[in-house]
Structure 1
Amino acid sequence: MKLTVIQGKTNAVVKVIPIYEGSLDKKTSCGGLSTAIKLKNSGKFKESYGDIYTLAKEAEEGFVYRIFLGLGKKEELTPEKIRRATSKAVKEAMKLNETSVHMKVIDSPNVCFYDVIKAMFEGAVLTNYKFDKYKTSNNETKKFIEYFEIFKINEDNFKIAENALKEAQDIIEGNIIARDLVNEPANVIYPETLAEKAKEIGVKAGFDVKVFNKEEIEKLNMKAYLEVAKGSDKEPKLIVMKYEGNKEDVQNILGLVGKGLTYDSGGYSIKPTDGMKTMKSDMGGAAAVIGAMYTIAKQKLKINVTAVVASCENMISGGAYKPGDIIGSMAGKTIEVLNTDAEGRLTLVDAVNYIIEKEKVSKVVDMATLTGAVLVALGTTASGVVTNNKDFYTKLEIASNNSGEKVWQLPAFDEYKELIKSDIADLKNIGGKCAGTITAGLFIGEFVQEKPWLHIDIAGTSWVDSDKHYRTKGGTGEGARLLYHLAKEEQ
């Protein structure tokens, strides 16, 4: 989609007019809104948030359309509400079979102009996303938007709008990278090809990528990771990405760890067929980390970031690990395996240990599609967070507000840690039926060496079964925008 901003008015076929609640009062409205006033008085259009009405007028070469978009109360508008409102307008334009949308800039008293522009573009472009590259024919009549313009920007704000557009493009591209990686089938994206994609993206964005093969992973003594990987014919790949944006402070490094299970059968604790159909998405954490690294590097943030993905498949074979096995880890701790479908945390603990011991990061964030329990607790609305550092979490909340990707902190009481203690090893990889998201997070927390740490479980937010505003069906790219905004807060 081509994006642009202009200063003046536009003679567009499809024009979106955002309207606040109360702005159509006859005493205060200008003549340009006279049509909207008539629609309101007739009951066809309300100014409440999300209300929408399209008016078609015949012109010399067809029709012109005016889409009136309700924004609700002016003081209640947020960047996320702007994204979703813009998304609704774009969807309305799609129904008209038009490929170009022109939207009047939203004037907000409580969202800065720069963030308004960013949010409008994010809402528009991400709504337009669809993964259909494997369709050999497409009989759908719906057209997708090829051009999106924000108009009526005054001269003083025009340069700000252009800068906001640039950041929006980088954020959008990072999110779409994550969506594409999640949506690709497991016969296309597996550890080797995921590593190749990371390299390609690193070259494009400007960060370094090193890939370790199985022999090198063995030399690193990453025993837990290798146990998960050994059931598959596909060789594991440890992907290490580095962006150095602040060479004056080389000791301060933000560490990102993404779960990289390119396919998860559950191993011998095998999933039912319905549970396996979307398990190509079990590398959503890795996809988010790679997408975030793209945006961080493209925006040239003044921060050092190292990201690690321990990529593999969790499969069944004569060599696969089994329930009841006791395995090692890079940190030296022993683990009793009670469920081979609790595999992601085994790869993550070695990746976390690696990023602390070998890459010397100052803080750690791990992001993973880790537990079904987070869906039970929070649904598809918010990602669950377990942390050992209040200040770090406060920055994540700011990043959440800026990105629109919701998070919710879960408790990390010592009583929960008791649930992952084993009678015959140092730890066990599941804590039982209760508090599954918390115990999974705290299992990883046993390996963070008291570094400030955030564990983000995106199992409920990384995939949607149907379109939900600008989160389109399939992989949502959840986490890519959140991690970028967290890095921005940390710089």
Structure 2
Amino acid sequence: MKFEIMDKISHIEDSIVLFMDETLAFSSDIPESLSLELSHYVSRLKSKKTYKGKIGEIHYGTIKVAQDYLDVAILGLGNYDTFSVIKLQNSLAEVFRNLKAKNTQSIFVIGEQLTHYMDSKRKRSILLSEVLVMADYEFSEYKSNFEPQAVENIFLLGDFDKNFVDEGIVLGESNKIARHLVNLPANKLTPIYLAELVKSYGNINGFEVTVDHKSEIEALEMSAFLEVAKGSSQPPVLITMRYTGHPESDHRLGFVGKGLTYDSGGLSIKSTSGMVTMKSDMGGAAAVIGAMIAISKLKLKVNVTAVVAACENMISGASYKPGDIISSMAKKSIFIGNTDAEGRLTLIDAVHYIIEKEAVSAVIDVATLTGAAIHCLGHDATCAVSNNDDYYEVVQKSFAKSNEHVWRLPILDEYKELLKHHEADLTNTAGSPGTITAGLFIGEFVHDKPWVHLDIAGTAFKDKQAGIFTKGGTGVATRPLYYVAKKFAAK
């Protein structure tokens, strides 16, 4: 899909997307015949009062210009009090899919009125390009009779900037890669295959990738990670991605993504319905991979290392068991109260590794960690736990730039006490409030590094299409991680 910014339009084919607020005023630098037809069309809407221009409101129609019939989608902006970027992006995604379903080849987006509600050229440009790219995704590669439809050209009329449009395209594409990884079934996306994909992403986009296999993981003494992995016939891998965009700097960000390519719950087995979507338990890994693609592709002047401890949590005679006491790379002992609290075990070894072996300056871990996160914040906001106010503020602002929601949960000494166990240093099931205690369990391994834990259990997967998201993986946190890296990039 090709994007082009236009100062004026001499001729329009196929379809038009027109932004309009509640005044229903219309003016644009387009051909007189088209302008006249659109003006008449809008006047008829006014007289019939069938469309009011409210934020997110959509009206579809057709106009005739010369001998051509053009599909028209009018998208409401509301007014200064009601305008919402999130409502705008979701309705724009709906419009795109509707026009794509009609085999539209070209879409002309008349976005001049958007300047009154988004005064930043950067925000306008990135928003339109990334939303249209993200809306142009569907998971269909396993459908035998699927015939893909494609929009070839997007023409933007208004005050937009090509560099920012290009940035939005990269962010949208990176989000789509993260979604696709989550959507791949577990019999296809094994830990080994995930590592192969990451290697190819690194080769294409310019970041280094190393893969440690079981013997090397054993040499690193990543005991907690190995305990989770040993019940599966699929061998574990430790995937390390390194991007060095600022070689003169010693500062290096660390991203850790939970990489359970499938989670049965282990011997504490999940129900069948609970297992159906457990291919998505590597949503954190998908986010950090997508972020590394965007960071490297846009050549940020920053250093970032990302780590994924990838494995399956399965059942066999070798599986770890409730009641076991295991070790960890940090040499802390852990009582296993539940084998379905496995993600935090892989994460603590990955976090310890990235701090001790990769010498990162700060850490963000991203994980589909707890069902309790859904009870906390539902499916529209990511839960966060952090030991550093300044670092969390960077993360929070990065989520806001991406039009994603995040909310910080409290750390209390009383919650930390719940992590202790009378037979071991820690327990992997510290009880309620489960989202916080799970995060604090990981926090026991971050030393004194600035750290933010993001629990995306509620936001990583959609049961049905909603706004910019199709059913399945959302790629949540991919774009926020990019903006975190951009914040630390040298100017």
TM-score by length of 2: 0.93
* 2:39 counterpart residue number: 33
* 2:485 counterpart residue number: 487
Looking at structure 1, the residues matched to 375 and 238 of structure 2 have their Cα atoms a distance apart, in angstroms, of 31
Looking at structure 1, the residues matched to 169 and 219 of structure 2 have their Cα atoms a distance apart, in angstroms, of 41
Range 466-475 or range 75-84, more displaced: 75-84
Letter of the 1:48 partner, please give it: K
* 2:31 counterpart residue number: none
Deviations along 1:10-53, one digit per CA (max 9) or x if unpaired, are: 41321011001224399xxx976343133023111111101111
Contact 2:3/2:156 (<8 A) preserved: no
Looking at structure 2, the residues matched to 350 and 407 of structure 1 have their Cα atoms a distance apart, in angstroms, of 25
* 1:191 counterpart residue number: 191
Looking at structure 2, the residues matched to 85 and 71 of structure 1 have their Cα atoms a distance apart, in angstroms, of 10
Give how far 1:471 is off: 0.8
Aligned partner (choices 109, 119, 128) of residue 127 of structure 2: 119
Letter of the 1:149 partner, please give it: I
SS of residue paired to 1:309:
strand
* 1:360 counterpart residue number: 359
Contact 1:128/1:144 (<8 A) preserved: no
Aligned-residue CA RMSD (Å): 1.9
Looking at structure 1, the residues matched to 254 and 421 of structure 2 have their Cα atoms a distance apart, in angstroms, of 29
CA 343–192 in structure 1, closer or farther in 2 if over 3 Å, else same: same
Looking at structure 2, the residues matched to 479 and 300 of structure 1 have their Cα atoms a distance apart, in angstroms, of 19
Aligned partner (choices 148, 155, 163) of residue 150 of structure 1: 155
Deviations along 1:69-127, one digit per CA (max 9) or x if unpaired, are: 11111465454344223213213324544343211123235441121011011221211
Looking at structure 2, the residues matched to 395 and 294 of structure 1 have their Cα atoms a distance apart, in angstroms, of 20
Looking at structure 1, the residues matched to 205 and 455 of structure 2 have their Cα atoms a distance apart, in angstroms, of 26
Give how far 1:225 is off: 0.3
Aligned partner (choices 454, 463, 466) of residue 465 of structure 1: 463
CA 422–444 in structure 1, closer or farther in 2 if over 3 Å, else same: same
Aligned partner (choices 427, 448, 451) of residue 449 of structure 2: 451
CA 111–78 in structure 1, closer or farther in 2 if over 3 Å, else same: farther
Looking at structure 2, the residues matched to 34 and 486 of structure 1 have their Cα atoms a distance apart, in angstroms, of 47
Looking at structure 1, the residues matched to 187 and 67 of structure 2 have their Cα atoms a distance apart, in angstroms, of 48
Contact 1:386/1:441 (<8 A) preserved: yes
* 1:428 counterpart residue number: 427
* 1:298 counterpart residue number: 297
Structure 2 gap segments, 5+ residues each: 28-34
Contact 1:8/1:151 (<8 A) preserved: no
Give how far 1:280 is off: 0.8
* 1:107 counterpart residue number: 115
* 1:213 counterpart residue number: 213
Contact 2:55/2:88 (<8 A) preserved: no
Looking at structure 1, the residues matched to 161 and 270 of structure 2 have their Cα atoms a distance apart, in angstroms, of 49
1:136-285 alignment, distance < 5 Å? 136-138=144-146, 144-153=149-158, 161-249=161-249, 251-285=250-284
Letter of the 2:463 partner, please give it: D
Q: Does 1:382 align with 2:390?
A: no
Looking at structure 1, the residues matched to 363 and 107 of structure 2 have their Cα atoms a distance apart, in angstroms, of 41
Contact 1:82/1:123 (<8 A) preserved: no
Aligned partner (choices 71, 80, 86) of residue 86 of structure 2: 80
Range 65-74 or range 268-277, more displaced: 65-74
SS of residue paired to 1:247:
coil
* 2:61 counterpart residue number: 55
Looking at structure 2, the residues matched to 439 and 111 of structure 1 have their Cα atoms a distance apart, in angstroms, of 42
SS of residue paired to 1:197:
helix
CA 484–78 in structure 1, closer or farther in 2 if over 3 Å, else same: farther
Looking at structure 2, the residues matched to 247 and 372 of structure 1 have their Cα atoms a distance apart, in angstroms, of 40
Contact 1:265/1:271 (<8 A) preserved: yes
CA 7–60 in structure 1, closer or farther in 2 if over 3 Å, else same: closer
Letter of the 1:285 partner, please give it: G
Letter of the 1:227 partner, please give it: E
Aligned partner (choices 67, 70, 75) of residue 64 of structure 1: 70
Letter of the 2:151 partner, please give it: E
Deviations along 1:370-404, one digit per CA (max 9) or x if unpaired, are: 01000111111001000001111111111011111
SS of residue paired to 1:350:
helix
CA 61–137 in structure 1, closer or farther in 2 if over 3 Å, else same: farther
Range 286-295 or range 92-101, more displaced: 92-101
Contact 2:100/2:151 (<8 A) preserved: no
Deviations along 1:140-160, one digit per CA (max 9) or x if unpaired, are: xxx74413423323xxx5xx6
* 2:20 counterpart residue number: 19
Give how far 1:4 is off: 2.4
1:315-334 alignment, distance < 5 Å? 315-334=314-333
Looking at structure 2, the residues matched to 167 and 479 of structure 1 have their Cα atoms a distance apart, in angstroms, of 17
Structure 1 gap segments, 5+ residues each: none
Contact 1:58/1:64 (<8 A) preserved: yes
Q: Does 1:287 align with 2:282?
A: no
Range 352-361 or range 42-51, more displaced: 42-51
Letter of the 1:194 partner, please give it: L
Looking at structure 2, the residues matched to 73 and 213 of structure 1 have their Cα atoms a distance apart, in angstroms, of 56
SS of residue paired to 2:248:
helix
Contact 2:56/2:87 (<8 A) preserved: no
State the identity as a percent: 46
Looking at structure 1, the residues matched to 24 and 305 of structure 2 have their Cα atoms a distance apart, in angstroms, of 49
Range 467-476 or range 40-49, more displaced: 40-49
* 1:477 counterpart residue number: 475
Contact 2:410/2:436 (<8 A) preserved: yes
Give how far 1:3 is off: 2.4
SS of residue paired to 2:464:
coil
Range 258-267 or range 124-133, more displaced: 124-133
Give how far 1:277 is off: 0.6
